[in-house]
Chains A and B, each alone.
Chain A
C-alpha cells in the first residue's frame, strides 16, 4: 500500500468546470511533486514543492494551479482544461528537498478525463 494518498481516483470534468486533485503524505517528507502521465509514456514533471514553496514549475499552462497548504498536503486546482489534458496525474513525495531527491514515493494517481 502506498503511503501517499490521492483523491479522487477518477475524475470526469467538462472544459468549463473547476475541480481539484488532492494529495496527502504523513512521512514527514519535505518535497512533493505533481507528475502527468499519458498512456505508454513516462511520468512528466509538472511542479515541485520544497519546504512548502514552489521550487520548480515546468512551464505548465496556467489552467493548472498547484497549492501546498502545509507540509503534508498538495493540491492541484484545475480550470478550463482541454481534452488533451486527460491523463493520469501522479503525486509523489521525497524525504529531501528537490535537488537531493532520493527515492520518490508515488500515490496511486488520479485518472482525469476532460470531455
Chain B
C-alpha cells in the first residue's frame, strides 16, 4: 500500500529564515501532491497543489517542488514569520477513485 512520510515531526526555525519541510512517499507516484496548513483545533486549509509533470509551484512566500525520481516533495516558506507557525500536512492525490492519503504532518515553530 502507498506510504507517505513527513520525516520531521517538529521543526524550529528563526524568523526570517527559510523553512523547508519534506514529504516522501513509497510505491507509485501520485498524480498530484497537495499541501495543507492546520492550526491547533481547526480544520486543515489547502495551500498548494503540484502535478506530477510540474517540478515547482510558487504562491507568494511558498514554494513546492515535486521530484518523482526521488519520490519526494519539498515545501519551502521563505522569510518565515511567527504567524507561519502551524502543522503542515502533505497529501498524496492518486486520483483513480482513491481518496487523499495524508502524512502525519510537521509542526513548524517560527521563533521571533
Where the two chains meet, the residues of A that have a C-beta atom closer than 8 Å to any C-beta of B are: 2, 4, 33, 41-43, 45, 48, 56, 88, 90, 92, 98-109, 111
Contact = CB atoms under 8 A, between A and B. Distances in A.
A103 B49 CA distance: 8
A42 B89 CA distance: 8
Given A43-B89, A99-B95, A111-B41, 7 more contacts: A2-B43, A2-B45, A41-B104, A98-B97, A100-B97, A106-B44, A107-B43
Contacts of A106: 43-45
Given A42-B89, A42-B105, A101 B100 contact: yes
Q: What class of interface size applies to chain B in its complex with A?
A: 20 to 34
Given A33-B99, A45-B99, A101-B100, A88 B49 contact: no
A78 to B, nearest CB: 19
Nearest to A50: B97
A92 B43 contact: yes
B95 A108 contact: no
B73 interface: no
A38 to B, nearest CB: 11
Select the residue from B43, B45, B102, B103 with max chain A CB neighbours within 10 A.
B43
Interface of B: 34, 36, 41-46, 49, 89, 93, 95-100, 102-105
Contacts of B89: 42-43
Ranked nearest first, the 5 interchain pairs of A and B with the lowest CB-CB distance are A99-B97, A106-B43, A42-B102, A103-B46, A109-B43
B82 to A, nearest CB: 21
Contact of B98 (A41, A99, A103, A104): A99
A98 B99 contact: yes
Nearest to A103: B46
Select the residue from B44, B93, B95, B96 with max chain A CB neighbours within 10 A.
B44
Contacts of A105: 46
Nearest to A111: B41
Select the residue from A4, A98, A102 with max chain B CB neighbours within 10 A.
A102
Contacts of A108: 42-43
